[in-house]
Structure 1
Amino acid sequence: MTTASDNTTPQAPDLEYFGTLHIEVAAPVEVGHTHAGQRRVIPITGGTVTGPKVSGRILNAGADFQVIRSETESDLDARYVMEFDDGARVFVTNMAYRTGAAEDIAAIARGDKVPAQRIYFRCAPRFEVADTAETSWQWLESTVLIGSGRREPEAVIIDLWIVR
């Protein structure tokens, strides 16, 4: 039995690489300034999912709903559908936070390429696996994945890790 007086050092969880999402996007739709901040919607038009144990595509069925809180901070709420090569479809809700220097964020908004190391872009996707899936991807619904993203002019690339 562990007590409050035990001097145990917490251990960080292990991470296992899941895969990389290459998410193709269209031009942003600027909604305008709302009470939450500058609202923008970026259509998701396709892409790929690749990893050691996963392969598939991202369907033309989703968008990234963004709130630009300041010239340096954005809250991202992307919702889209992945279809794995075995036919399984997975609905993804991917909440993210992105920040960087004002000039780098402005460059991204213009469609310029900014080195990934200059932008802090982290996410925590959640998954809903369709009941019709022939193979078992249900474990995704009860597993935490974390990601590190980067914005390219025509796409968003997200590397995902399973938290063990």
Structure 2
Amino acid sequence: MAESNGLLEPTLEFVFELRVEVSEPIRVGRTASEDLNVTPIVGGTIDGPRLRGKVLGVGADWWVTRGATTQLDARYLIEAEDGSAIDVVNRGYWHAGPELEKRLFGGEAVGEDELYYRTAFAFQTGSEAHRWLTEAQFVGYARPEPGFVCIRVFRLG
């Protein structure tokens, strides 16, 4: 029998998909090394085995591009089907080379496997039914769709 060293291999449990509706980004400014923009969040949906509801039109994603990498910092509210409010902090990274960005901006659909668009979540809520969101780490695989950012959210085990 193999000896256990107490180390775990990570597992992921799919919990829901966010379809976050966004409006046009607001450009804040550019320096020699970075470009800051803010994308308002105006709505959306949540659908999955552990959570259903809607994304409220409250919040935005502040993103800074440095070279080919964009750092994301989004904060918004979601409302579960039972009416519970849940605060979302979602931070991550987007990285696409020039050819992939050209395809994206040309309106071509790009899969999660082609684009490094990964996020990590922190949730806050006073709802006992949704307390599980505040007690674990969640990660997301994101992809852009016209007018939306779609994120499949997983609980890290």
- In the superposition, the TM-score normalised over structure 1's length comes to 0.85
Q: Which of 98, 108, 111 is the equivalent residue of 1:102?
A: 98
1:93 Cα offset (Å): 0.6
Q: Secondary structure, in 3 states, of the residue corresponding to 1:149?
A: strand
- The residue identity in structure 2 corresponding to 1:22 is R
Structure-1 residue corresponding to 2:136: 143
Distance 2:32 2:77 in 1: 29
Question: Cα 1:30–1:21, aligned 2, differ >3 Å: closer, same or farther?
Answer: same
- Count of equivalent residues: 154
Matches within 5 A, 1:42-121: 42-70=39-67, 72-108=68-104, 110=105, 112-116=107-111, 117-121=113-117
Q: Secondary structure, in 3 states, of the residue corresponding to 1:118?
A: coil
Question: Cα 1:38–1:112, aligned 2, differ >3 Å: closer, same or farther?
Answer: same
Distance 1:86 1:101 in 2: 42
- The residue identity in structure 2 corresponding to 1:112 is G
- In the superposition, the TM-score normalised over structure 2's length comes to 0.89
Runs of 4+ with >3 A deviation: 6-10
Q: Which of 3, 19, 23 is the equivalent residue of 2:20?
A: 23
After superposition, what is the alpha-carbon deviation per residue over 1:9-63, rounded to whole angstroms, capped at 9, x for unaligned?
8331222111100000001111111477100101111000011121100000011
| 8 Å contact from structure 1 (residues 104, 114) kept in 2 | no
After superposition, what is the alpha-carbon deviation per residue over 1:98-136, rounded to whole angstroms, capped at 9, x for unaligned?
10112323554x47234123211111011111x3x3x42
Distance 2:81 2:4 in 1: 48
Distance 2:28 2:151 in 1: 25
Question: Cα 1:50–1:146, aligned 2, differ >3 Å: closer, same or farther?
Answer: same
Question: Cα 1:80–1:107, aligned 2, differ >3 Å: closer, same or farther?
Answer: farther
Distance 1:149 1:44 in 2: 15
| Aligned alpha-carbon RMSD (Å) | 2.0
- Identity within the alignment, %: 32
Question: Cα 1:145–1:111, aligned 2, differ >3 Å: closer, same or farther?
Answer: farther
Distance 1:145 1:103 in 2: 30
Question: Cα 1:36–1:95, aligned 2, differ >3 Å: closer, same or farther?
Answer: farther
